Amino acid sequence: MRTDWWIVLTLVLSATLAAGAEMGPLLVIEPGPGNPRNSEGDIIELKDGRLCLIYSRFTGGSGDDAAADLAMRISRDEGRTWSDDQIIEGNPDGWYCYTAVTFVKDRVLLVYCAGDKKIGGLNRLKVTALSRDSLSSVHASQTLCAWEFDSERELQVWRPNAHLANVTATNGMVKARAVDSDPFLLCRDVTIAATPHQYIVTRMKASRAGIAELFWSGRLEGQYGGLTEAKKLRFSVRDANHWQEIVLFPFWHTGYCRIDGRPAVFLWDPKAIRIDLGGSEAVREAFEKSQEMARDAGFSGITLIALGYDFSQGHIRALKEEGYSGITTYHEWGATIDGQVSRKLFRYEDVVRDSPGA
């Protein structure tokens, strides 16, 4: 096998949270007079280190369709203290939920669902660019380590194996020729505290298209120096006509929910998915493709859990045929359901009482 590889392993490992940061509650917003409920929100870190929280602040009742504002709070001391609420959007006839704050290049975007009693239902998706007056400048992800490959010294960190020949590192690029079946670069000199939001960026091209793999390990012992099939991520590389900037999310943090050793994905609403895709057979095919992609990425598969309120035998049988592993309610389960006026509304104290391990 003869394949030329050019790798700008600007291999930037980034995180939106500082490496090694301890997990813990940053803020608890209690309800109060005129504010009976606080709900979904999102939090980001700005370039100057401030934390920005945007959440749903209910003012017209505690029900899902009660009037609510989108409120913002700012912390200048890593979450120890917070500013008063600043109302981003308010509508006496409307409410907001499923809030997300994200970055697109140098813009900060607020994305959320909006409802309006005059129109009816939770029926709109809104995207708003947050003003610089309220947010100042944009946060850039913290780079934990990077390799620019401007000199041969970089190859003392990233060591080529015998299946790579003519290896050079100059002008911000590693260039090599694959001369056998398993070419790779190995780095054993970097230790990083894993967090849920880390990702890797690499820029590379090859003389022909193929599949590449990223391996990682928290230990050096074992047959292959701690590297195993269980901790790898596969990705595609196009041919020599294209440089690719590839962003990889390894999900190497152990805090993600897993069931039977597989990442757990909870899907709302299985009936809507069935309608959107055109029937159960289409859902089954889509899930089979998803399972195949997960296995190609180095996982043993995905545990798919349906969220809903239909527990009839016919519906459960359809879910099983489509590829789901289980079903649960949108909110909570167990004795909490008993005695409730609606399956969609649960008193918080009932959930706490009946689900102590949740």
User: 3-state class of 194 per DSSP?
Assistant: coil
Residue 303: the pLDDT is 93
> For 194-253, how does the pLDDT look when each residue is reduced to its tens digit (9 = 90+)?
776 677 888 888 888 888 889 988 888 888 888 888 788 888 887 777 788 787 877 776
Nearest-angstrom CA–CA distance, 155 and 314: 60
Residue 103 near residue 138 (C-beta atoms within 8 A): yes
Write the CA distances from 325 to 153, 252, 295, 310, integer angstroms.
50, 23, 17, 15
Q: Which residue carries 């912390």 as its tokens?
A: 75
**Residue 25 is encoded by which pair of tokens?**
């509650």
> For 59-88, how does the pLDDT look when each residue is reduced to its tens digit (9 = 90+)?
888 777 777 888 888 888 778 788 888 877
Q: pTM of the prediction? A: 0.46
> For 158-202, how does the pLDDT look when each residue is reduced to its tens digit (9 = 90+)?
999 999 999 999 888 899 999 998 999 999 888 887 776 677 888
What is the share, in percent, of the chain residues with pLDDT greater than 70? 73
Higher pLDDT, 156 or 113: 156
303-307/262-267 β-pairing: parallel
Residue 18: the pLDDT is 36
**Residue 27 is encoded by which pair of tokens?**
């803020």
